[in-house]
Amino acid sequence: MKMDGRFILLSLVVFVILSSALAFAGTGLSTTDCVKVMEELKDLIVRNFFYLTLFGFIIGAMGGFFGVGGGFLMVPMLNVIFGIPYNVAVGSDLGQMAGMSASATVRHMKFGNIDFKLGILMIVGTAMGVEVGAQVLQALKHVGVVEIASKQVNIMDLVMSLVYILLLIFLGQGMIRESIRTMKRQAGRVDLKAAEAPASGVVLRLRTIKLPPMVSLPASGIECISLWVILGIGFATGFLSGMLGVGGGFIRMPALVYIIGCPTVVAVGTDLFEIMFSAGYGVITHALKGNVNLVLVLALLVGTTIGAQVGASFTRKAGGPRVRLGFGVLAFVGVVMVVLKLCLKLLG
């Protein structure tokens, strides 16, 4: 997916949504209310343990099949299908992600395709981003409700739904465009150079920033790059992890390849290394804020672990750009579900 003006536009829209939400802040839950809400939530998760495991299996299978983490579908669907608050869904999904990435890192270790210098430098930006993202979610958790069309709507639900709608549209259209381009290229209908042009103007400008300190990355074959570019990429993906509970690979992978200039195999290994740290740090900071439900983490872990193996075995049989096209369509199905839930809340 190209890193261009669409991403900057998306960031601006998200910033406006967040600012408006904090400006319209209402009142939070009282202690009596929150004890009742928490008891209901814990009961809901324990009662639906089997279905949550099954849900984890489906997301894990799709993730394994399409070759992605699936976090960007996991969190909104936990809210839409099971009614789990976004903050608990994000914290628990990061727990599930920490387990999955620990498993994947142990399995990938034998390949040794990790640029440790790049990974460690990026961790600094990633940790800062995760913390800022988690703090934003924490602020949203406590702002309470707002009245829209004489209906009391939780501001966190509203903001997170809107942000997820934008994110899923951004990812879905990117995947669909990419897969169609690949299919056309395979059919020989598109000029190879034009189809493979990886970098837009913004990307090229980022790549040539000469703001000191400059660092070299011998393992990736990069002689000189500004440290601020590495920290910036880490911060952006860390922010997404901390606030939305996604791995951020859909930003980090193209950024590592197109902006930093890593070989793809090194980008894959380093991305995995980063996910392990962002999810690990994310689960700690969200646990300290009370956003991790251990029963939900266990259900998702069991489901996604089995599902990922099943999904991966099917990829070997299917494969190709059509798989990516399918995932793009699935992202739009996710958008429809989130929009429907939001409309029902506002109209129902």
Partner 1 sequence: MNILDFLSELSGNTMCPDWSPSVSYVVMAVALPVCFGVFVAVALRLIEKVFGVELGHGRH
Q: Which spans of this chain sit near partner 1 (rule: CB under 8 A)?
A: 28-29, 31, 34-35, 37-39, 41-42, 45-46, 49, 63-64, 67-69, 85, 88, 95-108, 141-142, 247, 249, 268, 271-272, 275, 280, 283-284, 286-288, 290-295, 297-298, 301, 305, 308-309, 311-313, 315
CB of 15 to partner 1, least distance (A): 26
Would you say 202 or 263 has its CB closer to partner 1?
263
The secondary structure of 89-119 as a DSSP string is: HHHHHHHHHHHHHHHHHHHHGGG----HHHH
Would you say 232 or 248 has its CB closer to partner 1?
248
Nearest-angstrom CA–CA distance, 155 and 14: 14
CB of 95 to partner 1, least distance (A): 5
Nearest-angstrom CA–CA distance, 90 and 40: 18
CB of 312 to partner 1, least distance (A): 3
CB of 296 to partner 1, least distance (A): 9
- Is the CA virtual torsion 248, 142, 158, 50 positive or negative? positive
According to DSSP H, which parts of 187-320 are helical?
192-196, 201-207, 227-244, 249-254, 264-288, 294-317
Would you say 11 or 313 has its CB closer to partner 1?
313
Q: How many residues does the chain have?
A: 348
Question: How many Cβ atoms sit within 10 Å of the Cβ of residue 194?
Answer: 9
Would you say 105 or 173 has its CB closer to partner 1?
105
CB of 223 to partner 1, least distance (A): 27
Would you say 115 or 271 has its CB closer to partner 1?
271
Q: How wide is the angle at C-alpha 291 spanned by C-alphas 289 and 292, nearest 5°?
A: 120
Nearest-angstrom CA–CA distance, 46 and 25: 32
Nearest-angstrom CA–CA distance, 207 and 233: 12
CB of 339 to partner 1, least distance (A): 26
Would you say 226 or 291 has its CB closer to partner 1?
291
CA dihedral 254, 89, 13, 229 (to 10 degrees): -30
